[in-house]
Structure 1
């Protein structure tokens, strides 16, 4: 398989110089979101939410990606926050979109192929909404979008990539944190947004609330 090297993802973040002062919960079972926070040096727990995302999407009756992302992130965070009122709960949602079509997790190799065939040679967007809740109420939200231009891929290259990375549960049918990043010739946006959890705004907000404390000292 030919892996394009026009775009290379940034290496994992070094652990930041800050202390975690209060309880933080990530309301997600995503291993990538967990890694983003782990790499930052944050101390946190994981509690999964039990919200029905499909029902929330139906109730919204909108194609506004920002509203959908933020609403789903808020629902996840509030569901966990109600049961953990003293913790700062982080909820997140990600949507991949191309030409007004939303791509859910493919789940099968056939769907992976269909998605990547549509994205091949085109520019699509990854949208990330984040909500932080305390005591069952949303206290902060953030939305970010990244644009990704994919190289033109042959059918053989697409199939080879799918076999290599097995992106069955990946938003957009590629694992950007793995071999998927090499499929792109140009990226506009934050790597952490593409991975599903825009990091710097979270850290800045938590620091402003004295949940974490930045330090000039080296680890």
Structure 2
């Protein structure tokens, strides 16, 4: 894996580019054991006024893929560019990355004992055709009703300040959750792999074929 897009791998498969700076998405994509590169998309991630959480997530996932595809050099070999974005919401409000301990604690206090929806949008852009496939995978999470001291202890142990909703389900954050309902277990972490593998196979990417 390389840090920036260059050219298609010598296997003959199209280049695979993850349009994200997230280490969580990178680690998830590594589970597929396929070569890929990463590139950071330069886009404004501010939600539009009146935009639904689903619309925000889908728009940003597609925008990330388009931004990275547009930055590829002229004449570059075919690539599949993966964009992803996640928006958490409850009571009709969008919940972003807290950034600080204080804001994370406020998020967890507001969500305890409540159901929260996580919209994990995925977009795959084929640079050969310009076609984009997008999907929104929704995960319903019920948070436990825990005291402030427990929430504070969790935040100090795991510092999940770069995670929407302030809880890492793949780590200690699972202790904050009462239940998770989803068709794709990796969606909550940030990259829905069931949806992604379906989209890559539909685009002709040989996920399970031995390459010479």
- Please report the TM-score for the alignment, with normalisation by the length of structure 2: 0.86
Matched, 1:180 2:173: yes
Residue in 1 aligned with 2:71? Answer: 83
Deviations 1:76-112 (A, max 9, x none): 1001011236211000010011111111111111101
Secondary structure at 1:51 match in 2: coil
Q: How do 1:49-128 and structure 2 match up within 5 A?
A: 49-54=41-46, 57-58=47-48, 61-84=49-72, 86-128=78-120
CA separation in 2, counterparts of 1:83 and 1:121? 44
Change (3 A) 1:20 1:205: farther
* 2:202 counterpart residue number: 208
**Alignment match of 1:37 (pick from 24, 29, 39):** 29
TM-score (norm 1): 0.83
Equivalent residues in 2 for 1:149-164 (5 A)?
Answer: 149-164=142-157
Question: Would you say how many aligned residue pairs link Structure 1 and Structure 2?
Answer: 194
Task: Calculate the aligned-residue CA RMSD, in Å.
Answer: 1.8
Residue 20 of structure 1: how far off its partner (Å): 8.5
One of 191, 194, 200 as aligned partner of 2:188? 194
Counterpart check, 1:139 vs 2:95: no
Q: Return 5+ residue gaps in structure 1 as ranges.
A: 1-18
Structure 2: gaps of 5 or more residues: 1-10
Structure with the bigger RCO (C-alpha within 8 Å, sep 6+) is 1
More helix as a share of residues: 1
Aligned to 1:212, what secondary structure does the other structure show?
Answer: coil
- What displacement does 1:138 show? 4.1
Distance in 1 between the 2:157 and 2:24 partners?
18
Q: By how many angstroms is 1:29 displaced?
A: 0.7
Q: Distance in 2 between matches of 1:106 and 1:42?
A: 32
